[in-house]
């Protein structure tokens, strides 16, 4: 390291002796940059080490695939009803939130069961906190 630092000082001194826009100045600057790269190497990060968390995530998906697929298929319903419950809980307390959410859920599941009973395609309801329930359009009977 000591010799590299001394070499860099010599090259910097030589750079002061040549015209700034000359080809010699450019060549000397390249040598200084090479010495800087050897004196202060950039830490190399191996891409394999960065993929470690991805491998763990893939292994977890493989192990818990049933739960993941259930959440993907029914996740909109679960997330929306929890958000609905959470909003009313924070505004009016847990008694009101549980009562309102249960009432709306019971009512909407009645629609869902009847639509399915008559053989039509239906999705579980999606609750919009503060607005009520939103229909996706697939549970509407068309004549």
Domain ranges of the chain: 2-42, 73-134
The pLDDT value recorded for residue 117 is: 92
Nearest of 23, 22, 29 to residue 8 by alpha carbon: 29
- 71-77 contact pairs (CB < 8 A, 24+): 74/124, 76/124, 76/126, 77/124, 77/125, 77/126
| Confidence check: pLDDT of 11 > 90 | no
Nearest of 62, 99, 68, 72 to residue 84 by alpha carbon: 99
| Confidence check: pLDDT of 114 > 80 | yes
| Confidence check: pLDDT of 141 > 50 | no
Task: Please name the helix (run of DSSP H) or strand (run of DSSP E) that holds residue 34, with its range, or none.
Answer: helix 23-39
Q: Half-sphere exposure of residue 118, counting CA atoms within 13 Å on the CB side? A: 11
Q: Report the alpha-carbon distance of residue 89 to residue 20 in Å, rounded.
A: 72
pLDDT bin (cut points 50, 70, 90) of residue 133 is low
Q: Kindly report whether the global pTM for this prediction surpasses the value 0.85.
A: no
The pLDDT value recorded for residue 103 is: 92
Tens of pLDDT, residues 14-47: 888 888 888 888 998 999 898 888 888 877 666 6
Work out the average pLDDT over 84-103. 90
């Amino acid at each position: 390291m000591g010799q590299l630092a001394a070499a860099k000082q010599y090259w910097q001194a030589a750079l002061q002796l040549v015209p700034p826009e000359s080809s010699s100045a450019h060549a000397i600057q390249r040598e200084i940059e090479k010495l800087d790269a050897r004196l202060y190497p950039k830490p190399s990060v191996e891409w394999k080490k960065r993929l470690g968390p991805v491998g763990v995530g893939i292994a977890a998906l493989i192990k818990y695939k049933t739960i993941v697929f259930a959440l993907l298929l029914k996740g909109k319903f679960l997330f929306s009803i929890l958000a609905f419950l959470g909003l009313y809980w924070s505004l009016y307390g847990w008694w009101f939130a549980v009562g309102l959410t249960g009432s709306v859920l019971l009512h909407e599941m009645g629609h869902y069961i009847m639509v399915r009973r008559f053989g039509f395609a239906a999705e579980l309801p999606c609750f919009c906190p503060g607005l009520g329930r939103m229909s996706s359009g697939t549970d509407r009977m068309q004549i």
